[in-house]
Amino acid sequence: MKVFLIGFMGCGKSTVGRILADRLGFDFIDTDMLIEQRWGMKIEEMVATKGEMFFRHIETELLEEIISQPYDTGGIIVACGGGMPCSENNLLMMLYGGTTIYLKSSERVLYDRLKNERGNRFLIKNMTDDELKTYIAETLTKRHNSYYSQAYMIITNDETVDNCVEKILNKTLFARLFA
């Protein structure tokens, strides 16, 4: 079983994903971290030296690799980079290749989390507070309407991480019972 966690930067995919994997005894992948490990550089550096298109292509290649791998004996939770479902056919691959869960956080919560964590995110690194607010509002609406909202399951994550993990576990168990 493959579970793809998608959603905007700062919605908690990595933190929630890691705990969820632990609780279920699944493997865990953070696509940003795996790309950085394999290429031996930060994403920010990759984008600065090779361009955003290159990074997006690497993301797609990684997704194809994950989807083509059999996970018959257990499962894997994949915390996807915020832009991964928004390029090429990535969202379709996720929808057909596993269970896609959108962690939905409000603009206010995203802003509160991201305003102190801009450093390693090339898209927002140099933004002022006001620019960040506007960027979140505009980009979240676009990504929500065109991509994120098509996920198999939507879980709101404006509260604690534990709360979010419980909601996912309850909802997936419920869905499995009545499948």
Provide the CA 146 distance to its chain's centre, in angstroms.
15
Which of 122, 132, 152, 153 binds ligand S3P (CB under 6 A)? It is 122
Nearer to ligand S3P, 24 or 114 (CB): 114
Residue type present at position 55: F
Closest Cα partner for 20 from 155, 158, 176, 149? 155
Contact window for ligand S3P (CB under 6 A) among 20-28, 80-88, 127-135, 161-169: 80-88
Residue 43 CB, nearest distance to ligand S3P (Å)?
5
In the complex with ligand S3P, the residue whose CB is nearer, 73 or 116, is 116
Q: Examine residue 113 and tell whether it contacts ligand S3P (CB under 6 A).
A: no
Work out whether 75 is an interface residue with ligand S3P (CB under 6 A): no
Identified binder of ligand S3P from the candidate list 9, 24, 78, 165, rule CB under 6 A: 9
Is residue 43 near ligand S3P by the rule CB under 6 A?
Answer: yes
Cβ 115 vs Cβ 132: under 8 Å = yes
Based on the shown chain and the rule CB under 6 A, indicate whether residue 33 belongs to the binding site for ligand S3P.
no
Query: What residues pair up with 103 in beta bridges, in sequence order?
Result: 155
Spatial CB neighbours of 72, under 8 Å, sequence gap ≥ 6: none
Q: How many CA atoms lie within 13 A of 78 on its CB side?
A: 28
| Identified binder of ligand S3P from the candidate list 12, 75, 81, 85, rule CB under 6 A | 81
Burial class (CB in 10 A: 0-12, 13-18, 19+), 45: middle
User: Judged by CB, which is closer to ligand S3P: 83, or 98?
Assistant: 83
What's the rounded Cα separation, in Å, for the pair 70 and 128?
A: 44
Under the criterion CB under 6 A, does residue 32 sit at the interface with ligand S3P? yes
Residues lying near ligand S3P in the complex (CB under 6 A) are found at 9, 13, 32, 43, 81-83, 121-123
